Amino acid sequence: MKQLSNRHILLGISGGIAAYKSAELVRRLKDHGADVRVVMTAAAMEFITPLTLQALSGNPVHTTLLDPEAEAGMGHIELARWADLILVAPASADLMARLANGRGDDLLTTLCLATPAPVALAPAMNQGMWRDPATQANIEILRERGIALFGPAAGEQACGDVGPGRMLEAEQLAELAAGLFQSRALDGVKLCITAGPTREAIDPVRYISNHSSGKMGYALAEAAADAGAQVTLISGPTQLPCPERVTRIDVISAQQMYDASLEKMGNCDIFIACAAVADYRPANVEEQKIKKHNDAMRIELVRNPDIVSAVASHPKRPFTVGFAAETQDVVSYARDKLQRKKLDLIVANDVSDSRIGFNTDDNRVTVIGADTEQHIEQMSKRQLARQLIALIAQQHREPAD
Ligand code: PMT
């Protein structure tokens, strides 16, 4: 499916070593069906030539604001109106600072000011520049103005540093750009998501729990609401604010999450189980705080009900998606859970890698269906959630035979 068919993408390129990836990005955007026009800053032309981008895009490349010849063709206001999306990749720290200050001192920043279209930035810079408070403050301003940020990824950088600031890969950027246009993919769909940990009380002051922060489930809730779904988030205890346009039901224990899920599932089309539910709970909850009389103590545990299995086995089951948190043989264990729990899809999460999974900002997953397997590279949970929601929406609409 060409997700960007007939879309006009204005690709802005600012000065940075990641500009070499922009050539590939033009190709990926065109593969997705987009009509691409390129605008380069003066610094970008130090890294890659306009000729390369002209050849790849099939359109003249725009480089200066005050060029009578270019203005005679497609003037800058016309160009700003032509765009369905302005994607700046790479977006340097300097470019973002100028945008945050509302500057229009070259063609690219002028277009960002003039356009009625959404603007997305793919930051690329040294990790120190990314972490600098000035850059972070600029990002906050840009986010508040509704500018989308794609990335950056973390990892080894061209300068030898390791950390956040790498531009996302071309295919990821093309997918994210496509995601911006798919925001009605779940119009009219009712969706239920479990998120966060559960707490299983031992006594009035102690409990058994796990490291789930709720970030992944909340990001899914936000992405689903952005895609037009009516979202109910059944959440264990977290520190996170409820995303806008999402109804949250707060629970503490697995039994409470089970009860809320079974009550809501009758009125939902898609159920996503992202919560890290405690598999066991203490058989007895002491009424008073347990005293430290002995050197050792034993707590008898009993099995909690399996929420996602109960939902998926229900005669009026919704389209049901589970997660699998695994530390070894991730895909084969996840596939086993897909079958055992009778799920439509399962999202396999390698939680042995401390950079992803529990209580991290990033994740990397493999989405497994009866006959399908799709890997999604490491990126922020919010970006990943958008990709997952697009995929789930598509599978829900057109289930595999
Ligand atoms: O919250 P974060 O810090 O962002 O971390 C995200 C995450 C790592 C928690 C998330 O990505 C994830 O992997 N969630 C599933 C965690 C888990 O409990 O996996 P599991 O393999 O033990 O369970 C398999 C599936 O059964 C899951 O969909 C789980 O929600 C569900 N389950 C498990 C037990 C139970 N009693 N009821 C259930 O519904």
* Average model confidence (pLDDT) across the chain: 93
Lowest mean pLDDT among 9-23, 33-47, 149-163, 251-265: 149-163
197 lines ligand 1 (CB under 6 A): no
Q: Is 380 in the pocket of ligand 1 (CB under 6 A)?
A: no
Check residues 75 and 385 and name the one with the higher pLDDT: 385
| Whether residues 279 and 162 fall in one domain | no
In this predicted model, which residue has the larger pLDDT, 314 or 77?
Answer: 314
Same domain as 203, residue 258: yes
Query: What percent of the residues of the chain are helix, what percent strand, and what percent coil, each to the nearest 5?
Result: 35, 25, 40
Using the mean position of ligand 1's atoms as its centre, give its distance from the Cα of residue 273 in Å. 7
The span from the CA of 274 to the CA of 279, in Å, is: 14
Select the more confidently predicted residue: 185 or 284: 284
pLDDT band at 1 (very low <50, low <70, confident <90, very high): very low
Q: Is position 125 within any domain?
A: yes
On the CB side of 182, CA atoms within 13 Å amount to 24
Q: How far apart are CA 210 and CA 219, in angstroms?
A: 19
One domain for residues 78 and 209: no
Q: Is 242 a catalytic residue?
A: no
Ligand 1 atom nearest to 216, measured from its CA: 4
Distances (CA, A) of 37 to 60, 113, 175, 268, 294: 7, 17, 18, 42, 74
**Ramachandran category for residue 165: left, alpha or beta (phi over 0 → left; psi -120 to 50 → alpha):** left
pLDDT above 70 covers a percentage of the chain that reads 98
Is 163 in the same domain as 194? no
Q: Closest ligand 1 atom to the C-alpha of 275?
A: 30
Return the number of other C-beta atoms located less than 10 Å from residue 227's C-beta: 22
- Tell me what the mean pLDDT of segment 342-361 comes to: 94
pLDDT band at 183 (very low <50, low <70, confident <90, very high): low
Mutate which of 194, 212, 234, 302 for ligand 1? The one with the most ligand atoms within 8 Å of its CB, which is: 212
What is the spatial distance between Cα 279 and Cα 371, in angstroms, rounded to a whole number? 28
Binned at pLDDT 50, 70 and 90, residue 279 comes out as very high
Residue 216 shares a structural domain with residue 159: no
- Unique residue bearing structure tokens 């034993």: 298
| CATH number of the domain to which 367 belongs | 3.40.50.10300
Q: Is residue 319 part of a domain?
A: yes
CA–CA dist 179, 201 (Å, integer): 41
User: How close is the Cα of 343 to the center of ligand 1, in Å?
Assistant: 13
Ligand 1 contact via 254 beta carbon (within 6 Å): yes
| Cα of 154 from ligand 1 centre, angstroms | 25
Cβ 220 under 6 angstroms from ligand 1: no
In the Cβ-directed half-sphere of 96, how many Cα atoms lie within 13 Å?
Answer: 29
What is the CA(277)–ligand 1 centre distance, in A?
6
Q: Look at residue 340 and tell me if it is in a domain.
A: yes
Q: Does residue 215's CB lie within 6 angstroms of at least one atom of ligand 1?
A: yes
Report the pLDDT averaged over residues 193-218. Answer: 97
173 and 194 share a domain? no
If asked whether residues 258 and 327 sit together in one domain, one would say yes
Q: Do residue 219 and residue 174 come from a single domain?
A: no
Q: How far, in Å, CA of 198 to CA of 281, rounded? A: 10
pLDDT in tens, 107-137: 999 999 999 889 999 999 999 999 999 999 9
Residue 120, domain CATH: 3.40.50.1950
Q: Which of 178, 211, 235 is the last residue of a domain?
A: 178
322 located within any domain: yes
Pick 386 or 140 by higher pLDDT. Answer: 140
R_g of the chain, CA atoms, integer Å: 24
Chain-centroid distance of CA 344 in Å reads 21
CA–CA dist 59, 131 (Å, integer) = 36
Report pLDDT for 159: 81
**Whole-number pLDDT of residue 3:** 72
Task: For residues 368 and 345, give the distance between their C-alpha atoms in angstroms, rounded to a whole number.
Answer: 6
Domain carrying residue 284: 190-400
State yes or no: pLDDT of 31 exceeds 90: yes
Amino acid 89: pLDDT: 98
77 and 195 part of one domain: no
Give the number of domains in the chain.
2
Is any ligand 1 atom within 6 A of the Cβ of residue 351? yes
Ligand 1 and 307: CB distance under 6 A: yes
Residue 303's CB is within 10 A of a number of other CB atoms, namely: 9
Residue 184 covered by a domain:
no
By C-alpha distance, which of 252, 311, 259 is closest to 281? 252
Higher pLDDT, 73 or 337: 337
Give the Å distance between the CA of 328 and the centre of ligand 1: 15
Residue type, 284: N
Looking at the domain assignment, is residue 376 inside a domain? yes
Mean pLDDT, residues 168-180: 91
Extract the runs of DSSP E, i.e. beta strands, from 236-315.
246-250, 270-273, 280-282, 301-303
Residue 400 pLDDT: 60
68 Cβ neighbours under 8 A, 6+ residues apart = none
Looking at residue 272, the DSSP 8-state letter turns out to be E
| 150 shares its domain with 291 | no
CA–chain centroid gap for 368, Å, is 18
Q: Is 50 exceeded by the pLDDT of residue 354?
A: yes
Q: What is the pLDDT of residue 181?
A: 77
Same domain, 62 and 211: no
- Cβ neighbours around 270 below 10 Å, total: 23
User: Residue 63 domain-assigned?
Assistant: yes
Taking the C-alpha atoms of residue 125 and residue 108, their distance in angstroms, rounded to an integer, is 18
Atom of ligand 1 nearest to the CA of 321: 28
What pLDDT is recorded for position 182? 66
pLDDT of residue 321: 98
Query: Residues 168, 65: one domain?
Result: yes
Separation between Cα atoms, residue 104 and residue 334, nearest integer Å: 51
pLDDT in tens, 300-312: 999 999 999 999 9
Cβ neighbours for 229, distance < 8 A, ≥ 6 positions apart: 186, 187, 189, 190, 191, 270
- pLDDT average, residue stretch 331-344: 97
Tell me how far the alpha carbon of residue 398 lies from the centroid of ligand 1, in angstroms.
25
Name residues whose C-beta falls within 8 Å of residue 71's C-beta, 6 or more positions apart in sequence: none
